[in-house]
Amino acid sequence: MKSRRLTEMESYILTHGSVPMEELRDVFKISMNTARRDITELVQGGRIEKVYGGVKAKEKVSPLVPYDVRSSAPSRAKEAIALAAGKMVRDGDIIFIDSGTTTPYIVEAVKDKHITIITNNIEVMLRVLDNENIRLIMLPGEVHRKTRSITGEDSAAYLSHMNTKYAFMAATGASMTNVTNSSPLEYSIKQAAVAHTDKAVLLVTGNKFGVTSLLSYASLNQFHTVITDSTIPPEYRDHLENSRVELKIVD
């Protein structure tokens, strides 16, 4: 599929910094003419540029950090953010819980409620297994060990047929306009989750604001609520409070 190839090609270039055209041809098993056409489309996106003999990234992106590394970071703020998210949920709700290291803490806040959880987060699945009052729906797809999540086009297609009251979303970074993540494999799933929910809720620690990651999966104004901690930069606090996005700050 061309759109997936373009996404993966852009990811490859942004990750490697600069890439010869011959390398793109060989890695993606396409003709040189197809590689040139793909690059022409990608250049229009503004994140890469043509150079002699190849292409290079115009911006530095935040790389995908393995789950084990991210989960070893101090978790007090993540727990507080997830607890605030869990308090939004009521009996009977259908919710989506995204992959990430903050979102699994939601389970502790909703463990006694009679709800349906849809997720691609393997850690969420493990925490919910013994709670028979919670209906658990796992997205189909392939296990991505680096993020401990289920990924793939099948996951996104399955999720696009479901409607949820809340989609509790994670991110690698957030700018004044866009919310980003580092895994191309999760890109379409995140897009589908935001598109097919009543209220998208962003769960990020304050240090994620101002960080640019690989792919923009949603605009900031697509979120009904942003839950973060008190380390959020003042300019982002002002921006959100002056917009139509609800801002919840936890201690």
For the chain, the structural domain boundaries read 2-57, 67-250
Q: Can you give the pLDDT at residue 46?
A: 84
Closest of 167, 191, 189 to residue 179, by C-alpha? 191
pLDDT at 70 over 60: no
pLDDT digits (tens, 9 = 90+) for 110-162: 999 999 999 999 999 999 999 999 999 999 999 988 888 999 889 999 999 99
> What angle, 0 to 180 degrees and rounded to 10, lies between the N-to-C axes of helices 2-16 and 32-43?
80
Listed in sequence order, the DSSP H helices in 19-136 are 21-27, 32-43, 67-71, 76-86, 106-110, 122-128
Could you tell me which residues are beta bridge partners of residue 42?
Answer: none
- Residue range 67-250, CATH number: 3.40.50.1360
pLDDT confidence bin for 249, thresholds 50/70/90: very high
Mean pLDDT, to the nearest integer, of 74-93?
92
> Which two tokens mark 50?
């043509």
**2-57 with 67-250: one CATH topology?**
no
With respect to CATH, is domain 2-57 assigned 1.10.10.10?
Answer: yes
Least confident span in 119-128, 213-222, 225-234: 213-222
Q: For residues 240 and 67, is the Cβ–Cβ distance under 8 A?
A: no
Mean pLDDT, to the nearest integer, of 222-237?
95
Three-state secondary structure call for residue 228: strand
pLDDT at 97 over 60: yes
Q: Can you give the pLDDT at residue 210?
A: 87
How far apart are alpha carbons 219 and 179 in whole angstroms? 6
